[in-house]
């Protein structure tokens, strides 16, 4: 893809793109994705804005983090990236996991962007079905039994089999460092930070999104003081990819570009 660059942040080589001129927008991708997911948005808006997109450590063309990170570590990394590329007061746009990082940065007051765009964003504790709660409890019981003192050296393979059986597709497909990261990330509920977010915030969620359902979006809308929700009919977790023209129209209206 054109305009690809590499920069070192916190000792890690990071792939990013920087194109267009005008008010800057930072694009933060979701878990298991990369900056390539924003290709259409970049083409659509580069004529009116400076668009910067990056690959988070562990994804795309960026280095793997040295150890499992939590959302706070990715937030600190993002601050370092902003400084490294000289990006000041950007609009923040995040999909899924990228939304978590934005919530952490803005909810703690370290970044105060002029506007925020959260697309199918994660960050609030999801409602678990009875089946999901039972699976989670079953794994915890098995893990507790297999990690009793004196047993761990003999049960590691059984524990790995249990992880593969009970773990999500994201967990099972991730390298070891990112497995530890995923556990830290998904268990953090950022709801308590949302009332402190001051910027006008646009929420875009797919009607059929099962990873970050509309029920989560409505909770986020209630908690952020100046937030508005747009639900994209028929779309799933990648609403901006599945329904680009609808999403672009909404973004044009919100951004004024």
How much is the average pLDDT of 93-108?
98
* Dist CA 136 CA 63 (whole Å): 31
Of all residues in the chain, what percent carry a pLDDT higher than 90?
73
Contact 196, 109 (CB under 8 A): yes
Residue 135 has pLDDT above 70, yes or no: no
53-76: pLDDT as tens digits: 999 999 999 999 999 999 999 999
Residue whose C-alpha is closest to residue 193's, from 247, 118, 133: 118
Instruction: Quickly state the pLDDT bin for 78 (edges 50, 70, 90).
Output: very high
Quick one: the chain helix, strand, coil %, rounded to 5? Answer: 45, 20, 35
| Chain center to CA of 162 | 27
Residue 1 has pLDDT above 90, yes or no: no
Residue whose C-alpha is closest to residue 85's, from 77, 94, 75: 77
- pLDDT score for 134: 54
Range from 30-34, 43-47, 112-116, 138-142 carrying the lowest mean pLDDT: 138-142
Handedness of CA 25, 26, 32, 35 (dihedral sign): positive
Q: Please list the residues that pair with 252 across neighbouring strands.
A: none
Rounded (10°) angle between helices 130-146 and 152-166: 170
15-55: pLDDT as tens digits: 999 999 999 999 999 999 999 999 999 999 999 999 999 99
Pull the structure tokens for residue 136.
């989670």
* Dist CA 126 CA 102 (whole Å): 18
pTM of the model: 0.84
* Dist CA 68 CA 196 (whole Å): 27
Across all residues in the chain, what is the average pLDDT?
Answer: 87
Contact 84, 98 (CB under 8 A): no
Helix intervals (H) in 86-151: 97-107, 130-146
159-169: pLDDT as tens digits: 456 445 445 55
Residue 145 has pLDDT above 70, yes or no: no
Residue 3 has pLDDT above 90, yes or no: no
- pLDDT score for 109: 96
How much is the average pLDDT of 183-189?
87
| Cα dihedral: 113, 75, 103, 24 (round 10) | 30
Residue 208 has pLDDT above 70, yes or no: yes
Q: Which residues contact 34 (CB under 8 A, 6 or more apart)?
A: 15, 55, 59, 60, 61
């Amino acid at each position: 893809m054109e305009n690809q660059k590499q920069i070192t942040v916190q000792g890690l080589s990071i792939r990013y793109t920087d194109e267009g001129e005008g008010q800057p927008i930072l694009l933060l991708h979701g878990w298991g994705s990369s900056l390539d997911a924003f290709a259409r948005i970049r083409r659509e808006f580069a004529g009116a804005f400076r668009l910067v997109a990056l690959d988070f450590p562990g994804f795309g063309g960026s280095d793997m983090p040295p150890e499992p990170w939590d959302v706070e570590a990715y937030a600190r990394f993002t601050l370092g990236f902003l400084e490294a590329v000289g990006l000041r007061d950007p609009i923040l746009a995040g999909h899924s996991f990228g939304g978590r990082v934005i919530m952490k940065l803005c909810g703690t007051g370290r970044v105060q962007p002029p506007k925020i765009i959260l697309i199918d964003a994660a960050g609030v504790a999801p409602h678990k079905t009875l089946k999901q709660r039972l699976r989670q409890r079953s794994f915890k019981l098995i893990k507790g039994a297999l990690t009793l003192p004196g047993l761990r050296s003999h049960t590691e393979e059984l524990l790995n089999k249990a992880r593969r059986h009970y773990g999500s597709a994201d967990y099972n497909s991730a390298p070891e460092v990112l497995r530890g990261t995923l556990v830290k990330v998904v268990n953090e509920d950022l709801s308590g930070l949302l009332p402190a977010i001051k910027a006008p915030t646009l929420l875009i969620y797919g009607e059929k999104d099962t990873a970050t359902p509309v029920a989560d979006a409505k909770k986020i809308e209630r908690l952020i003081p100046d937030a508005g929700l747009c639900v994209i009919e028929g779309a799933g977790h990648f609403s901006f990819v599945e329904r680009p023209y609808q999403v672009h129209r909404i973004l044009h209206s919100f951004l004024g570009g």
